[in-house]
Amino acid sequence: MSRQRLIITNQPPGFRGVVGEFWRCREIALLLARRDFLVRYRRSVVGFCWVLFKPGMNALVLTFVFGHLAKLPDQGVPYAVLVLSAAIAWQFFTGVLTESGGSIVNNVPLVTKVYFPRMLLPLATLPVNLIDLLLGLILLWLVMGWTGFVPGWTALLLPLAGIPLVLVAYGAGLWVSALLARFYDLKNVIPYLLQFGMLVSPVAFSAALVPERWRLVYGLNPLVAPLELFRWCLIGDRYQLDPMMVLPSVGMGLLLFISGVWAFRRFEREFADVL
């Protein structure tokens, strides 16, 4: 009879062990996601409508303020389409970030009473938000139909554009969940950071608005790449995409993800002791 052998010391386990364990426990992440999904709509009457409410309202207000009042350039695309195509991606990011933030502190019994890779807790917020994202796409297509906008072939590349979005969201989620477990008062800062983030990221406007010489600096925002790629896929190749901005932003996104894993691993061993 072969039995797994495990050595426990005060050193964190090696990287290979972590990946293997992650794979063995993948079912936990799916079941946790399923739990969150079932619980989310069990008590609401209008159910899925809430999912469309937030990005829908966002897009409505932003279209009015930035498109009609400020009259920002729209690259020949209906402003509502321009805003909504990025707003649903932004909604995914904020959803993952806020739910990850609570994923450790709201599951204290799990963290202090059983062992499984803690990184699964923020990971389990991804599937639910992906479903919301798909529903957002339906809303976007309705708006496109209403404004008579025809999307380009690039829509087929959308799953690829989703990869940087998921990496950035999970990376940020890891940071926030680890930090919130340790410093719970950070919770009060997150709404402001998200508000600020929405204004400095290309949600309400196209990144093509940024002057040439500032584009490299603007590309340091890890959200520029996922949002602009999303927009490019949904609108088509007539949408201007500047690689000078997107490439550094992809790099920053990767950095955010890797540092998130690092930070989470550094903090996770304390979780049971500080909670």
Nearer to other proteins, 3 or 213 (CB): 3
In angstroms, rounded to a whole number, what is the distance separating the alpha carbons of residues 63 and 66? 6
CB 231 within 8 A of CB 155: no
In angstroms, rounded to a whole number, what is the distance separating the alpha carbons of residues 211 and 218? 10
113 near other proteins, rule: CB under 8 A: yes
Residue written as tokens 């739990």? 35
Nearer to other proteins, 50 or 183 (CB): 183
Binding mask 183-212 for other proteins (x = CB under 8 A): x-xx--------------------------
27 near other proteins, rule: CB under 8 A: yes
| Tokens at 125, concatenated | 């917020």
The region of 25-33, 48-56, 139-147, 217-225 touching other proteins under the rule CB under 8 A is: 25-33
Helix residue ranges per DSSP H, 68-124: 79-105, 108-113, 120-123
| Tokens at 234, concatenated | 């949904």
| Tokens at 158, concatenated | 């959308």
Instruction: Provide the minimum distance between the beta carbon of 26 and other proteins in the complex, in angstroms, as a whole number.
Output: 10
Nearer to other proteins, 112 or 195 (CB): 112
23 near other proteins, rule: CB under 8 A: no
Nearer to other proteins, 172 or 210 (CB): 172
The region of 49-57, 106-114, 128-136, 238-246 touching other proteins under the rule CB under 8 A is: 106-114
In angstroms, rounded to a whole number, what is the distance separating the alpha carbons of residues 203 and 228? 9
φ, ψ at 193 (rounded to 5°): -60, -40
* Residues 28-57 interacting with other proteins (rule: CB under 8 A): 28, 31-32, 34-35, 38-39, 42-43
Out of 6, 45, 69, 150, point to the residue binding other proteins (CB under 8 A). Answer: 6
Residue 208 CB coordination number (10 Å): 15
Residue 113 CB coordination number (10 Å): 8
Number of residues in contact with other proteins under rule CB under 8 A: 36
In angstroms, rounded to a whole number, what is the distance separating the alpha carbons of residues 78 and 83? 9
Instruction: Provide the minimum distance between the beta carbon of 208 and other proteins in the complex, in angstroms, as a whole number.
Output: 38
Binding footprint of other proteins on the chain (CB under 8 A): 1, 3-10, 12, 25, 27-28, 31-32, 34-35, 38-39, 42-43, 107, 109-116, 183, 185-186, 269, 272-273
